[in-house]
Amino acid sequence: MSAPERIPPRSLTPPTRLPSPPGAEASRLLPPAELLALGELTVRGQVREASNAVLYCTVEYDGHSAPCVYKPVAGERPLWDFPDGTLAQREVAAYEISEATGWGLVPPTVLRDGPYGQGMCQLWIEVEVAPDGADGDGSADGDGDGSGQTGGAELLALVEGDEPGPGWKAIGYAEVDEGRTALLVHADDVRLRRLAVLDAVINNGDRKGGHLLPAAGGRLYAIDHGVTFNADDKLRTLLWGWAGEPLPDDVLEVLRRLADELADGGSLGARLAELITGAEIEALRARVATLLRTGKHPEPSGQWPAIPWPPV
């Protein structure tokens, strides 16, 4: 039985956009993680395309309400190379690291009991859709300089030729139709660069384009962190554009702070010890130390495919 099939379909309805509840403005006063941890979960639908069970829910507590995603452990598909713990625990650990960096790249995520047992509960992020007339056709003719942020529709693109152009970083060639290839590129965007570092820290084995969620206010969130924190090198990502380049000074400062918080006796290490194994925590510390020692973005090892499939 596949993982999603372990969740009884009869209790589900198609996902719908929910209206804002009365007093919705007050929900901003309650930290989202607290709402997710304490609120009552109601299943509204299921994301059918996912390889594991992903349920669209609402969470309500003390007059506050928000949409969220609930991934019960009972709906996880076993992975031979991740035999310890659960994917849900790894998702929460990724959020803890994201918060420790101060970058806020992972939506608020908690481990809690739900209608189908323990699982990961994460705030639902509404994706910002490119306005009419915006450059959302997948072409890379922007003029970003790599120092700021691109729009949500401009994070990934396919371009003709062998050079990515100003404001873009090359990933590799992709076959598009009838043997024709195009260059797959990602934006030279400070948010993506920070995410590339976060993925290197947590050893993300599955960073795809579909995991990038541009949100209102220029925010960028990343989701699906179940295959992370392995003690062995598993890094597979689309964000190789900075491979081998020096890490920015502000990133190095964040990594130094993170190393301190991961040290023995630190509160971050204690929280992670409830989510991943001791060997995985040691490997995490070693990855941070390597980034600080080299001062560079990591490069593909060449021992396995560096880009996940499908890439988006």
Could you read off the pLDDT of 33-83 as tens digits, one per residue? Answer: 999 999 999 999 998 888 899 999 999 999 999 999 999 999 998 888 888
State percent of the chain over pLDDT 70: 83
In a domain, 139, yes or no: no
pLDDT band at 3 (very low <50, low <70, confident <90, very high): very low
The residue range of the domain holding 44 is 4-123
In a domain, 306, yes or no: no
pLDDT number for residue 130: 63
Q: Are residues 86 and 196 in the same domain?
A: no
What is the C-alpha separation between 78 and 3, in angstroms, rounded?
9
Higher pLDDT, residue 180 or 75: 75
287: three-class secondary structure by DSSP: helix
pTM of the entire predicted model: 0.85
In a domain, 98, yes or no: yes
Give the residues across from 118 on adjacent strands.
Answer: 113
Largest distance between two CA atoms of the chain: 57
In one-letter notation, the amino acid at residue 267 is: S
DSSP H or E segment with residue 58: strand 55-61
Q: Are residues 29 and 105 in the same domain?
A: yes
DSSP H or E segment with residue 88: helix 87-101
In total, how many domains does the chain have?
2
- What does the pLDDT look like over 252-306, one tens digit per residue? 999 999 999 999 888 999 999 999 999 999 999 999 999 999 999 999 988 778 8
- What does the pLDDT look like over 100-123, one tens digit per residue? 999 999 999 999 999 999 999 999
